[in-house]
Amino acid sequence: MIHLTVNGREMSLDVDPDTPLLWVLRDELRLTGTKFGCGVAQCGACTVMLDGMPRRSCVTPVGMIDNASVTTIEGMEGPEISAVQAAWAASDVPQCGWCQSGQVMSATALLRQIPKPTDEEIDHAMGGNLCRCATYVRIRQAIHDAARTLEG
Amino acid sequence: MRLSFLAAAVLAAAPALAQDLRGPDAFADIADDSARSAALFAEMGKVLTHPRCLNCHPVEGGPTQGDRMQAHNPPVIRGEADFGAVGMNCTTCHGSRNVSFTGSPGSIPGHEPWALAPISMGWVGRSLGEICAQMKDPERNGGKTLEQLHEHNAEDGLVGWGWDPGEGREPAPGSQKIFGELTRAWIDSGAACPS
Amino acid sequence: MTLLSRRRFLATTAGFTLALVLPTPFARAQGAPPDLPATPNAFIRVGADDTVTVIIKHLEMGQGPYTGLATLVAEEMDADWSQMRAEAAPADDTLYKNLAFGAQGTGGSTAIANSYIQMRKAGAAARAMLVEAAAEEWGVPASEITVRAGRLSHPGGREAGFGAFAAAAAERAVPQDPPLKDPSQFVLIGGQGKRLDSAAKSDGTAEFTLDIYREGMLTVVVAHPPAFGATVASYDDAGALKVKGVEMVRQIPEGIAVYARNTFAAIKGRDALEIRWDESRAERRSSSAMLEDMARALAEARVVEESGDRGALGGAAEVLEADYRFPYLAHAPMEPLDAVIEVKEGRAELWYGCQFPSIDRPTVAETLGLPMDAVRINVLLAGGSFGRRAQGNGHLAAEIAHIAQAAGRDGAFKLLWTREDDLKGGYYRPMTLHRLRAGLDSDGRIVGWENAVANQSIMAGTALEAFMQDGLDPSSYEGSNDLPYDVGARRISWARVESPVPVLWWRSVGHTHTAFAVEVFLDEVLERAGKDPVQGRLELMTPEAGRYRGVLEKVAEIAGWQGRTRAGRAYGVAVAKSFGTYVAQIVEVENGGALPKVTQVWCAVDCGVAVNPDVIRAQMEGGIGYALSAALYSAITLDGEGRVQQSNFDDYRLLRIHEMPQVHVAILPSTEPPTGVGEPGVPPLAPAVANAWRALTGQPVRQLPFAQLLS
């Protein structure tokens, strides 16, 4: 049995401990906002918060994180995620949308630690999130916009 | 020509692949303590300059990866805590142990903790003499005595990861046990550095 | 155009629905069981809550048809943008055909172009019906009622939203040919309406294929052949069946399918298969050997366009010649191929990002031996496609149908291609070789131009072969003919080569390589003649090339081309028309250490009437990033045994955020009918970068990707 707290809910899961967190979230818990893109931590589409820090769920066997707290995009709360999602919609960042849950999670993690990031800090924090539609121009802009919102 | 090539290979910290690691006994017949010590360190150098070690001992920029030490992809910086960028730390991808990929050959390496060596311990491109001086210098080695250095080399888990690097990566030569013994013998013979 | 009211269907819904453009009256299949809903044969549904839902006949894969087609409807309805919604039309090629294809499908950047009149008529008809219903209720002449921003009003003081008259309007006859607005009256077309799908795509609620879970559903992964054209000789599934969660293993024409209760078990089960492959008919050449064979094939190239004096090159003072080589490219959409099927009591229902319903639906029906009416395809959002889901042979539909069939029982099955399956699975942009020759007279004027192209045909051997004329596949060489330049005597030819490696259209298709070959070679020729790249092109443009000229002059203006210099940087330009849309780009590059670093791109686009300017900008930005990714890094290569050497994003690199240039887009004002924007942002980028790189380093670029410069 694997014990996890997912989006604030404690649970015990009877799954193969080698199963990547990504597939537990999707196949067992039906939290489908977290996406599969590569399976090898190259694209960031599967990003979740693990004990509050961003984590690629595709390379995270659940047996490795017993008793951890996981937050998916469905369970995110707080001013940063709200500002990011509002900025994303206002700038029409998404095109196909597949990678955007991961982008939003990474951007939120960045803004929680650096409220007003520079372009360089955005490059470094978002460098692990691929977008095949290349919405990068708007991702950058939306992060700056969200930072301004948070400044109040 | 050939000699100078070999000399360059030994002296500068370029990746060294697939060598055997000899234990201290192999050096017992070097009578001069200092010469023996330096030779022992040169043997340790096979480990120190192996990609498993060098990849996370850069002197500038972020880590490299793979047996050919290519640029880390996704791009990773050192960061203020030797732990990557804010928002994309080492542990965004690297877990507490090696994890085999699902449906793909290879693995993503991991260990608890997982981080870059401090920049004062950067080795890439340095000669063994320079690396040796760095290792002995408490100002640069994290305040370690030689005894603590031995313990680090012989016991530390992240050092030990070099011999258990996961599918798709060549382990460092020898074993951590031999590496520890070499360190012991090197210290006991006066911790001399190769010139 | 025939317009029909569908009162019986409408009576059962909360709002009303309009059925438009029906060549024959729709009738629900006789004897169809009631658990499958009747196909909503309409484009517009008005809810009692005032919402207007537009049924979108094109696949939304990021390029924006949900927003674009809804804009067309909203404009003529005089709706407020905030009340608009969009949802996907199911597979039904009677109702939802692409008027440019005559069949239901998305591609060729046609969504807006073919819908422009159709969707506006739908909106205008809906507006007229609402007005008539209001006129009757209020007892006033319809002509006195005005509609603005989703509100009906009468000078006498009556006012209401659409919802109030939804039911009554549905009872009215549908106007046969409602008048359309003059473009000068447009409020929403050309306005600042936001995308309809941004919020759901920012909070994880947007539903994609992989998010579908049916009761009792098994997840399936398939072991595909390791070489193209190989088949299963024998296999041992004992190890796979021992994996906890694996339910069964079946051989299907595509390979060996592993069915499991969850994704991890399916993948683990596949890893445990032991398969012997018969490679006797497989492609065993390396990609470099194939390229050498292409060079030999050029001798047999067939002429596709010829004009002027064939001896022109022979009489030229100087003849320049260059070969350009292009690798296979994978589309690599972020969502790899996937599909869900549920077979129950002689009916099949599917859920996936289906791009060619008119091909896929009969493919499924035929495979399962079902009548067409027993197959329903629910079209879902696609996490990108770039051509990958536009399959002329319906191979994904066939694979999911084979999976259901091989199961030997009713049930639901989800097929997932992993990223490795995607990159190794073929359907690439064809590897291509161009050979160009140009003759200059003693004044530096171009007097002759030859361009021979060698590659595989995309259409041959698929349902689209019917579109080939006399054995020619224009998608192989489009863009090398029909040049905007007067280059003297012209001879364009194509050599078709064959291979078991399947090929497919890749965002902008033939233009991915023809624009590069033409615009890079021309740039070299202009340099040889001592001409400025922009001015030299303008001077060569024919009188018919006005729209090319327009975008080229515009991009030069916004980039400040004339006199622009900056230390350590160089500039390059290229222009191309694809799918009726004209795009010119100027790029700024610096030396990023062996590879160009593209810092800025200026882009001018003429796509006729700009329906959604911000979607157009987004598609130019995205097209530029997509093209730059391929230009810098992408290549699918085969080793000496015909094995694909790439497997995931570590060795098939994609552009990351720090590599994305700043993009400045100018949209040319136009009253021409709108054309597409999904693909046309791609073609000019790579040649502009190559031209800038040559200007910076003196190094001509004769093959892609740039990363080959490193090896």
Same domain flag for C443 and C358: no
Whether chain A has a CB inside 8 Å of the CB on C381: the answer is: yes
Query: Residue C197 falls within a domain, yes or no?
Result: no
Query: Residue C479 falls within a domain, yes or no?
Result: yes
pLDDT at site B19: 64
- Omega prior to B74 cis, within 30 of 0: yes
| C14 pLDDT above the threshold of 80 | no
pLDDT at site B14: 54
Q: In terms of C-beta density within 10 A (0-12 exposed, 13-18 middle, 19 or more buried), how is residue A15 classed?
A: buried
- Overall domain count for chain C: 3
Asked if residues C707 and C595 have their Cβ atoms less than 8 Å apart, the reply is yes
Mutate to test the interface with A, among C82, C195, C201 (most CBs of A within 10 A): C201
Pairing of strands C218-223, C411-416: parallel
In this complex, the residue of B88, B96, B103 whose CB is nearest that of residue A128 is: B88
Same domain flag for C388 and C433: no
Whether chain B has a CB inside 8 Å of the CB on A40: the answer is: yes
Whether chain B has a CB inside 8 Å of the CB on A113: the answer is: yes
Task: Give contacts of A121 with chain B, Cβ < 8 Å.
Answer: 85-87
Separation between Cα atoms, residue C135 and residue C84, nearest integer Å: 24
Measured between CA atoms, the residue of chain B closest to residue C264 is B102
Pairwise CB contact (< 8 Å): B73 & C418: no
Mutate to test the interface with A, among B70, B80, B99, B104 (most CBs of A within 10 A): B99
Query: Residue C199 falls within a domain, yes or no?
Result: no
pLDDT at site C310: 80
pLDDT at site C251: 98
Same domain flag for C92 and C54: yes
Task: Give contacts of B103 with chain C, Cβ < 8 Å.
Answer: 221, 267, 270-271, 418, 420
Nearest CA-CA distance, residue A60 and chain B, Å: 7
Measured between CA atoms, the residue of chain C closest to residue B104 is C420
Query: CA C141 from chain center: how many Å?
Result: 46
- Can you give the CATH number for the domain in which C264 is found? 3.30.365.10
Asked if residues C372 and C365 have their Cβ atoms less than 8 Å apart, the reply is yes
Asked if residues C147 and C127 have their Cβ atoms less than 8 Å apart, the reply is yes
**Kindly report the CA angle at C364 between C679 and C509, in degrees rounded to 5?**
15
pLDDT at site C93: 87
What own/partner pairs with CB < 8 Å and gap ≥ 24 does C241-246 have?
C241/C269, C242/C272, C243/C268, C243/C269, C243/C272, C244/A16, C245/A16, C245/C269
Task: Give contacts of B89 with chain A, Cβ < 8 Å.
Answer: 53-54
Nearest CA-CA distance, residue A100 and chain B, Å: 16
pLDDT digits (tens, 9 = 90+) for C478-513: 999 999 999 999 999 999 999 999 999 999 999 999
Mutate to test the interface with A, among C329, C602, C657 (most CBs of A within 10 A): C657
Domain boundaries, position C275: 209-280+337-416
Query: Residue C30 falls within a domain, yes or no?
Result: yes
Q: Which of C361, C393, C416 is the last residue of a domain?
A: C416
Query: Residue B173 falls within a domain, yes or no?
Result: yes
Whether chain A has a CB inside 8 Å of the CB on C62: the answer is: yes
Tell me the two tokens of residue A56. Answer: 């690629």
The answer to whether ipTM exceeds 0.90 is yes
Same domain flag for C643 and C534: yes
End-to-end CA distance of chain B: 20
Looking at per-residue pLDDT, the higher value among C21 and C260 belongs to C260
Query: Residue B67 falls within a domain, yes or no?
Result: yes
pLDDT by position in tens, chain B (length 195):
343 434 444 445 555 554 689 999 999 999 999 999 999 999 999 999 999 999 999 999 999 999 999 999 999 999 999 999 999 999 999 999 999 999 889 999 999 999 999 999 999 999 999 999 999 999 999 999 999 999 999 999 999 999 999 999 999 999 999 999 999 999 999 999 998
Same domain flag for C253 and C383: yes
Nearest CA-CA distance, residue C577 and chain A, Å: 21
Tell me the two tokens of residue C672. Answer: 């021409």
Pairwise CB contact (< 8 Å): C658 & B75: yes
Same domain flag for C523 and C452: yes
In this complex, the residue of C204, C656, C662 whose CB is nearest that of residue A127 is: C656
Separation between Cα atoms, residue C35 and residue C33, nearest integer Å: 6
Pairwise CB contact (< 8 Å): B104 & C656: no
Q: What percent of chain C lies above the pLDDT cut of 90?
A: 88
Separation between Cα atoms, residue C668 and residue C575, nearest integer Å: 14
Tell me the two tokens of residue C427. Answer: 């359907």
End-to-end CA distance of chain A: 45
pLDDT at site A82: 98
Pairwise CB contact (< 8 Å): C420 & B103: yes
- Omega prior to B75 cis, within 30 of 0: no
Reported confidence tier of residue C271, pLDDT bands at 50, 70, 90: very high
Tell me the two tokens of residue C438. Answer: 């140009």
Query: CA A37 from chain center: how many Å?
Result: 13
Query: Residue C421 falls within a domain, yes or no?
Result: no
Domains of chain A: 2-75 (3.10.20.30), 79-151 (1.10.150.120)
Pairwise CB contact (< 8 Å): C202 & A93: yes
Nearest CA-CA distance, residue A38 and chain C, Å: 5
Task: Give contacts of C221 with chain B, Cβ < 8 Å.
Answer: 103
Query: Residue C316 falls within a domain, yes or no?
Result: yes
Residues 125-164 of C with CB under 8 A from A: none
| C9 pLDDT above the threshold of 50 | no
Q: Whole-number mean pLDDT of chain A? A: 98
Measured between CA atoms, the residue of chain B closest to residue A50 is B92
Q: Which chains touch C (3 or more CB pairs under 8 A)?
A: A, B
pLDDT at site C440: 96
Three-state DSSP class for residue C582: strand
Q: Would you list which residues of chain B are within 8 Å, Cβ to Cβ, of chain A?
A: 73-77, 79, 85-89, 91-93, 95-97, 99, 101-104, 106, 108
Task: Give contacts of A63 with chain C, Cβ < 8 Å.
Answer: none
CA dihedral for B134, B137, B143, B147, sign (positive or negative): positive
Q: Which chains touch A (3 or more CB pairs under 8 A)?
A: B, C
Same domain flag for C272 and C321: no
Pairwise CB contact (< 8 Å): C334 & A45: yes
| C12 pLDDT above the threshold of 60 | no
Mean pLDDT, residues C426-434 taken together: 98
Mean pLDDT, residues C337-359 taken together: 97
- Overall domain count for chain B: 1
Pairwise CB contact (< 8 Å): A98 & C211: no
Mutate to test the interface with C, among A96, A126, A130 (most CBs of C within 10 A): A96
Nearest CA-CA distance, residue A89 and chain C, Å: 5
Whether chain B has a CB inside 8 Å of the CB on C424: the answer is: no
Same domain flag for C658 and C698: yes
Reported confidence tier of residue C193, pLDDT bands at 50, 70, 90: very high
pLDDT digits (tens, 9 = 90+) for C561-594: 998 889 999 999 999 999 999 999 999 999 998 8
Whether chain C has a CB inside 8 Å of the CB on A136: the answer is: yes
Mean pLDDT, residues C79-105 taken together: 94
pLDDT at site C133: 95
Same domain flag for C156 and C76: yes
Asked if residues A25 and A70 have their Cβ atoms less than 8 Å apart, the reply is yes
Whether chain C has a CB inside 8 Å of the CB on A56: the answer is: no
Residues 15-44 of A with CB under 8 A from C: 16, 18-20, 23, 26-28, 30, 32-40, 42-43
Looking at per-residue pLDDT, the higher value among C40 and B152 belongs to B152
Nearest CA-CA distance, residue A58 and chain C, Å: 11
Asked if residues C203 and A73 have their Cβ atoms less than 8 Å apart, the reply is yes
Q: Helix A136-151 and helix C613-632: axis angle, to 10°?
A: 120
Find, among C439, C464, C438, C442, the residue nearest to C452 by Cα: C438
Domain boundaries, position B117: 20-188
C-alpha dist (Å) from residue B169 to A5, B14, B165, C125, C595: 34, 17, 6, 66, 28
What are the counts of helices (DSSP H) followed by strands (DSSP E) for chain B? 7, 6
Nearest CA-CA distance, residue C569 and chain A, Å: 21
Measured between CA atoms, the residue of chain A closest to residue B97 is A64
| C428 pLDDT above the threshold of 90 | yes
Nearest CA-CA distance, residue C428 and chain B, Å: 21
Whether chain B has a CB inside 8 Å of the CB on C651: the answer is: no
Task: Give contacts of B104 with chain C, Cβ < 8 Å.
Answer: 418-420, 647-648
Same domain flag for C399 and C305: no
C-alpha dist (Å) from residue A37 to A59, A79, B94, C384, C415: 12, 28, 18, 12, 15
Pairwise CB contact (< 8 Å): B92 & A128: yes
Task: Give contacts of C380 with chain A, Cβ < 8 Å.
Answer: none
Residues 657-696 of C with CB under 8 A from A: 657-658, 660, 662-663
Asked if residues C467 and C359 have their Cβ atoms less than 8 Å apart, the reply is no
Same domain flag for C598 and C685: yes
Pairwise CB contact (< 8 Å): C267 & B75: no
pLDDT digits (tens, 9 = 90+) for C49-74: 999 999 999 999 999 999 999 999 99
Query: Residue B13 falls within a domain, yes or no?
Result: no
Find, among C140, C116, C130, the residue nearest to C164 by Cα: C130
CA dihedral for A17, A22, A25, A30, sign (positive or negative): negative
Pairwise CB contact (< 8 Å): C334 & A32: no
Separation between Cα atoms, residue A40 and residue A57, nearest integer Å: 10
Query: CA B63 from chain center: how many Å?
Result: 13
Pairwise CB contact (< 8 Å): A89 & C265: no
Pairwise CB contact (< 8 Å): B102 & C264: yes
Same domain flag for C410 and C468: no
